[in-house]
Amino acid sequence: MPAKIRLQRHGKKGLGLFHIVVADGRAPRDGKLIERIGTYNPNTNPATIDINSDKALTWLQNGAQPTDTCRAILSYKGVLYRQHLQGGVAKGAFTQEEADKRFEKWTNEKQGKIDAKRGTLASSSVAEAKKRMEAEQARKEAVAQKVAEKTSALAAEAEAAAAVAAAPVAEVTEEAPAAEAAAENEAPAAE
C-alpha cells in the first residue's frame, strides 16, 4: 500500500482539530504515522490551515496519495498547483523562474480573496451586533413604556380608590342613622 496523506483527529467532542499526516494506507486513522506535515482547524471561519508545503510537495512527488479532504486542503493551499507547475518545468514547458512567478501571482490572488472574506465576515458581525443592540434597545423602550402605562393606570386606580374610600365613609355615616330609624319603624309593624 502506498503512503497516504490524510487527517488524524484530535481535540474534544464537537471541536475536532486535525493533524495532516503521512501514514501507511493500512494504518488506522489515529494510529502510527510516518510524518506530520501540518494542522487543520475547521472550527474557525475561514478554517485555519497550517501546512509545510515543501514536505507535502515532496511526499506528493514521491507517490503519496491524499484523501479527498486532504486533496481539497492541499489545493486550497496551492500545493497541488505547485506540483502541476513542477511537472511543467520537468517537461521543459517553462523555466523554474516562470513557475515561481506564476505561483507567486496565484498566492497573492488567493490571499486577497481570503482577506476579503475575513473583512466581510468582520463587517457583517459588527453589523449584526449593531442590529441586535438596536433591537434590544427597542424592546427595552417598549417594556419601559408598558411599565409606565401600567404605573399610571395603577396610580389612577389608586386615586379613584382613595376618592371612593373617602366618599363612602361620609355616606355610610349619614345613611346609617336613617337605616336604623327605618328598621325601628318596620320592626313594630311586623309584630
The predicted pLDDT at position 98 comes to 93
Q: How far apart are CA 113 and CA 106, in angstroms?
A: 11
Q: How far apart are CA 49 and CA 109, in angstroms?
A: 17
Contacts of 60 (CB under 8 A, 6+ apart): 5, 66, 74, 79, 80, 83
Instruction: Please state the pTM of the whole predicted model.
Output: 0.64
The predicted pLDDT at position 188 comes to 55
Tell me if the bond preceding 46 is cis, omega within 30° of 0.
yes
pLDDT single digits (tens) 107-148 = 999 999 989 988 888 888 888 888 899 999 999 999 999 988
Per DSSP, the three-state class of 72 is helix
| Percent of the chain topping pLDDT 70 | 86
Q: How far apart are CA 141 and CA 178, in angstroms?
A: 55
**39 pairs with which residues across the strands?**
19, 50
CB 20 within 8 A of CB 55: no
- Superfamily grouping for domain 3-93: Ribosomal protein S16 (3.30.1320.10)
Q: How far apart are CA 107 and CA 114, in angstroms?
A: 10
Q: How far apart are CA 60 and CA 135, in angstroms?
A: 53
pLDDT single digits (tens) 90-103 = 998 989 999 999 99
The predicted pLDDT at position 191 comes to 47
Instruction: Kindly give the parts of the chain with pLDDT less than 70.
Output: 1, 168-191
Start-to-end Cα distance in the chain: 123
Contacts of 30 (CB under 8 A, 6+ apart): 8, 9
